[in-house]
Amino acid sequence: MALSSLHSYPLPYTLITQRHTTPFSFSFSFSITPTFRFSSALSSSTSATHHPLPHDFSPSQLLDLLRRQPDESSALRLFQWASAQPNYSAHPSIFHELLGQLGRVGSVDSMLSLLHQMQSSACPVDESTFLIFLETYANFELHSEINAVVQRMERDFGLRPHTRFYNVALNLLVKANKLKLVETLHSKMVADSVAPDVSTFNILIRALCKAHQLRPAILMLEDMPNHGLRPDEKTFTTLMQGFIEEGDVDGALRIKELMVESGCTLTTVSVNVLVNGLCREGRIEEALRFIYDEEGFSPDQVTFNALVSGLCRTGHIKQGLEMMDFMLEKGFDLDVYTYNSLISGLCKLGEIEEAVEILNHMVSRDCSPNTVTFNTLISTLCKENHVEAATELARVLTSKGFLPDVCTFNSLIQGLCLTSNREIAMELFEEMKDKGCEPDEFTYSILIDSLCSDKRLKQALRLLKEMEKCGCARNVVVYNTLIDGLCKSNRIEEAEDIFDQMEMLGVSRSSVTYNTLINGLCMSKRVEEASHLMDHMIMEGLKPDKFTYTSMLKYFCHQGDIKKAADIVQNMTLNGCEPDIVTYGTLILGLCKAGRVEIAHKLLRSVQMKGMVLTPHAYNPVIQALCRRKRTNEAMRLFREMMEKGDPPDAVSYKILFRGLCNGGGPIQEAVDFTVEMLENGVLPEFPSFGFLAEGLCSLSMEGTLVELINMVMEKGRFSPSETSIVKGFLKIQKFNDALANLGAILDRKRPRRF
């Protein structure tokens, strides 16, 4: 079935119609019941349909009929009709029912009007009335209005909220993580001398834990006896959870000891909190011992889920699967959390086929997967370059009723970009927006990075404007990517414009931002501007690092201005940025290019004495300079030194020395032996130098040696049978020039880079 035929977020037509053969079998069958949210305006023209009330209807009859109305507009019309009848009697339950219906759709203005109508009708207004307002404000994220409710109660209705009311309000604010509002409301509670109870303390302790203030939370626990209160199981469990969220399981265990000492019994919830904390830290054996040692405790579904999750997180998938079997044997019904842990663990190990088997097993036991399940699989398939399989899975899931979210799309878009399917990725991006799934900053970041890599900067800049226009969170990484892309395309003025825009838009520029633009300016020979930008960087409180200095260093080395290059290295040290081997390697290269080989050689020795491990980046320039001066013996000694004391030579090292040996007029056998050594280390020779060697061998009538070398090159280079047969054919009839010409063409295709 085509992915877009039934559901909200289809994939582009190019993905829908393109069928692929994948190694994964998605054989599951299940149904997902979509959840819909309905709201209706008070101005709806739909007429209320209700049975006429008797002439002498009672409040309970009216209440029953209000509850059976199709929407809040119909209920309001019924109420307005009923309240105009001569026998109507105002009752709190009727107003509360209407307030609840209006609150469920967020009609706050209508709720306030109804509240004033309730007051004017002399119907009693109490705390329960305002509890409806609290719930509505919380549901519709109008949290600042919650504190205003308390003021309205006192000012307009003469009601003084009690402890229970404050607890409800505080709890709603803590759940929403509105900790500043919690502090304000609690201060008013204290100012009004409203006595806290255990629930108040539990709520406040949870707020402090959320704010990462564990010490004040413990002080609040210690303050409870001063109010004649004893901490309960929830108090201690909240604190344990707080310590665990901070990564301090041992702290949570100390709270557990305090709990036992205070005579408070551990419950299943508190034990599970500790087990989960231990498992999250990978301390599975401790968790199992804790369960075993806790008298009277019987592990439940939550306990086993924590153990399975911990085992899978620490890579013990086999034990996790064994735990799953144990749960089934003991009669537990595995839930979506159990299966998700197993699927996630298998995906992290790259065991995708096994993860799909778990998914099929999950569905066969009537456990419906959720978005986390699917996104884990789709993300992993994309990361493992199985984008076709990920697309197929998305297609199957959508046909079953699953609606992809932004994470699903991001995984698919990223997978398509990484496999160079940028056009399809852009199509998917457009359809994503068309179908109401809003892209986030990660979506834009993926696409902009991909477009910049492909030098499609016009499209990338258009996406940036779209991102800014739609109000998506501005991400410094996106701007850095664009600045880098523009600099690499030598569009420095546009890169500077983006740099300036960041300040105007309130996007904090990072060291990477400055380093990227400084490097671009240096590459464009605008070093004075780069120097000014470095000063600006320091004024912004950002410390130049080795990348900053290296950009300037490369410029001066390239220009042959060794004095200024050396000054850069000295300034690095003075400013507390210790030069590394890359810095010294760059300076050594500059010295060699300026013909100051002896100084470069001395610097190499000086760096070595500092205890740094020399790399090919440092050795190669000196070896190359020595070879160009026909000092191949010294070059060879440095090469051997690199093999013994430094990092292993790279392909460039071999090619530099090979070129020097072939062109340096030294013993030809030395060049032959080095060719063999180079091939045995997996490096193919450059053809021009190999051609010189071949000419030398032929001039010395060493054709047999040449044939052996050519055969070795073809073997190590994994030439195809057709390539090998052509070269061998010419060798057989001793047409060495033709053999070498074909060999050179093949080598150029295999190793096109020149060093």
* Same domain, yes or no: 662 and 622: no
Tell me the per-residue pLDDT of 63-89, one tens digit each, with 9 for 90 and over.
Answer: 888 899 999 998 899 888 888 888 888
What is the count of structural domains for the chain? 2
- Is 518 in contact with 533 (CB distance < 8 Å)? yes
Distance separating alpha carbons of residues 402 and 471, to the nearest angstrom: 27
Tell me the per-residue pLDDT of 669-724, one tens digit each, with 9 for 90 and over.
Answer: 999 999 999 999 988 888 888 888 888 888 888 989 989 999 998 988 888 898 88
- Is 205 in contact with 213 (CB distance < 8 Å)? no
Instruction: Tell whether 707 is covered by a domain.
Output: yes
* Same domain, yes or no: 617 and 688: no
DSSP labels, 432-445: HHHTT----HHHHH
Structure confidence at residue 392 (pLDDT): 87
What residue numbers bound the domain in which 642 lies? 580-649
| Residue 19 banded pLDDT, cuts 50, 70, 90 | very low
* Same domain, yes or no: 608 and 689: no
Structure confidence at residue 665 (pLDDT): 66
- Is 736 in contact with 727 (CB distance < 8 Å)? no
Residue partners of 547: CB distance under 8 A and separation at least 6: 511, 515, 519
* Same domain, yes or no: 692 and 734: yes
Instruction: Tell whether 638 is covered by a domain.
Output: yes
* Same domain, yes or no: 661 and 614: no
The angle that helices 108-120 and 92-104 make with each other, rounded to 10 degrees, is 170
| Burial letters 369-407, b for 16+ CB under 10 A, else e | beeebbbbbbbbbbbeebbbbbbbbbbbbbebebbbebb
| Residue 28 banded pLDDT, cuts 50, 70, 90 | low
Instruction: Tell whether 152 is covered by a domain.
Output: no
Among 620, 649, 678, the domain-final residue is: 649
Q: Evaluate if residue 446 carries a pLDDT over 90.
A: yes
Residue type present at position 114: L
* Same domain, yes or no: 663 and 610: no
* Same domain, yes or no: 644 and 661: no
Q: What is the mean pLDDT of residues 496-514?
A: 92
Structure confidence at residue 291 (pLDDT): 86
Instruction: Tell whether 339 is covered by a domain.
Output: no
Tell me the per-residue pLDDT of 641-664, one tens digit each, with 9 for 90 and over.
Answer: 999 988 899 999 999 999 999 887
Our measurement of the distance from residue 77's CA atom to the centroid of its chain's CA atoms, rounded to an integer in Å, reads 51
CA dihedral sign of residues 81, 82, 86, 92? negative
- Is 75 in contact with 40 (CB distance < 8 Å)? no
Structure confidence at residue 43 (pLDDT): 34
Instruction: Tell whether 439 is covered by a domain.
Output: no
Structure confidence at residue 621 (pLDDT): 96
- Is 483 in contact with 520 (CB distance < 8 Å)? yes
Instruction: Tell whether 431 is covered by a domain.
Output: no
Both tokens assigned to 370: 């959720």
Percent of the chain residues topping a pLDDT of 70: 92
* Same domain, yes or no: 637 and 722: no
Q: Evaluate if residue 1 carries a pLDDT over 60.
A: no
Tell me the per-residue pLDDT of 136-162, one tens digit each, with 9 for 90 and over.
Answer: 999 999 999 999 999 999 999 999 999
Going from the C-alpha of 80 to that of each of 41, 51, 83, 94, the distances in angstroms are: 16, 15, 5, 12
Tell me the per-residue pLDDT of 327-382, one tens digit each, with 9 for 90 and over.
Answer: 999 888 899 999 999 999 999 998 989 998 999 999 898 888 888 999 999 999 99
Return the residue matching tokens 């057989």: 732
| Residue 29 banded pLDDT, cuts 50, 70, 90 | low
Among 614, 649, 684, the domain-final residue is: 649
HSE value, Cβ hemisphere, 13 Å, CA-based, for 261 = 6
Q: Evaluate if residue 35 carries a pLDDT over 80.
A: no
* Same domain, yes or no: 639 and 700: no
Task: For the chain, give percent helix, strand, coil, nearest 5.
Answer: 70, 0, 30
* pTM for the whole structure: 0.66
Q: Evaluate if residue 393 carries a pLDDT over 90.
A: no
| Burial letters 655-665, b for 16+ CB under 10 A, else e | bbbbbbbbbbe
| Residue 62 banded pLDDT, cuts 50, 70, 90 | confident
Instruction: Tell whether 409 is covered by a domain.
Output: no
Instruction: Tell whether 184 is covered by a domain.
Output: no
DSSP labels, 323-368: HHHHHHHTT----HHHHHHHHHHHHHTT-HHHHHHHHHHHHHTT--
Q: Residue 617 maps to which CATH number? A: 1.25.40.10
Residue partners of 218: CB distance under 8 A and separation at least 6: 239
Among 649, 676, 700, the domain-final residue is: 649
Q: What is the mean pLDDT of residues 282-310?
A: 87
* Same domain, yes or no: 675 and 629: no
Least confident of 232-241, 468-477, 503-512, 611-620: 468-477
* Same domain, yes or no: 700 and 626: no
* Same domain, yes or no: 633 and 593: yes
